[in-house]
Amino acid sequence: MTDMSSQVPPARRGSIPGSSAPVRGAVDLGALVQAREQQRQAQERAAQIAANPDAAPSGPLVFDATTANFQAEVIDRSFLVPRNVDRWATWCEPCKQLSPVLEQLANDDAGKWVLAKVDVDAEQAIAQAFQVQSVPSVIAIIKGQPVPLFQGAMPEPQLRQVMDELIKVAAENGVSAPGDVAAQEGAPDGALEPEEAEDTRFDAAFDAFEAGDWDAAEQAYRDILATDPNDVDAKAGLIRVELMRRTDGVDAAEAIAAADSAPTDIEAAKKAADIELLSGDARSAFNRMIAVVRATSGDERQAAREHVVSLFELVGTQDPDVVAARTALANALF
């Protein structure tokens, strides 16, 4: 039986360099991010697809995924347009309710994502590779990486919110369809330009991080954004600069104690979550902020959501804790 999970390459993380400088004895964030290697692998994969379109043929907005076409139609093409995988079975009544709604949403979104339908009884290799425990269940594939979305049937308004969030997540990972599969996937040979394997624009930022010079690091990232305002890596770099500034001189024990004593205090929660992330406990940081999302509303809720999403960027969207936290955040919001 083919182990499809072994074929899934890592998604690209932001180009955020590790730092050798100790942060109050904490585990360095460099242990959480391997930016250059992740970038290189994603770029190589994108270059392979661009150079050989036949290796990853395009298809309709809704199609049946099988063991034979899963690598080409789902994994490979997820570097260009996100894939949602609907795991279903003929005997499953909730599946019969969910699938038509998903198909309609896929057509409504006109290529922002593609729906791959998997009959788990007929395609047991896929079901085993992705550890399907119940149906219906839906996962997204973005840059080859599975992102669990939900299990069970769901009403259309809630599904709409999940799909909108998925499109945002894909864009954050550099997978942003223009709204038309033909435009994104059916471009003529040579129309997709692979990125360079090494981007020297970030060298100044890397050097500044190694020296602990946050002002210089910020300026280096802003210089990149001045010429390319949508550069995901530079935006992620600025997030880490701000993280290092926010935690500079903060007493970790006091910050966490303050947040624990006032669980809905958004500023206290943000400071404690920053400390937890720097200490290598990303799961606690995410859980703390998601708890604030559940307990608040309005501007405070939005601020908590934005903060935890910024922490996702630092850890990397394919990290298991991030995958689980994104699902928890979606549940807290919707």
Q: What are the residue numbers of the active site? A: 92, 95
Please name the residues in contact with 100: beta carbons below 8 A apart, sequence gap of 6 or more.
none
**What secondary structure, in 3-state letters, does the chain show?**
CCCHHHHCCCCCCCCCCCCCCCECCECCHHHCCCHHHHHHHHHHHHHHHHHCHHHCCCCCCEEECCCCCHHHHHHHHHHCCCEEEEEECCCCHHHHHHHHHHHHHHHHHCCCCEEEEEECCCCHHHHHHCCCCCCCEEEEEECCEEEEEEECCCCHHHHHHHHHHHHHHHHHCCCCCCCCHHHHHCCCCCCCCCCCCCCHHHHHHHHHHHHCCHHHHHHHHHHHHHHCCCCHHHHHHHHHHHHHHHHCCCCHHHHHHHHHHCCCCHHHHHHHHHHHHHCCCHHHHHHHHHHHHHHCCHHHHHHHHHHHHHHHHHHCCCCHHHHHHHHHHHHHHC
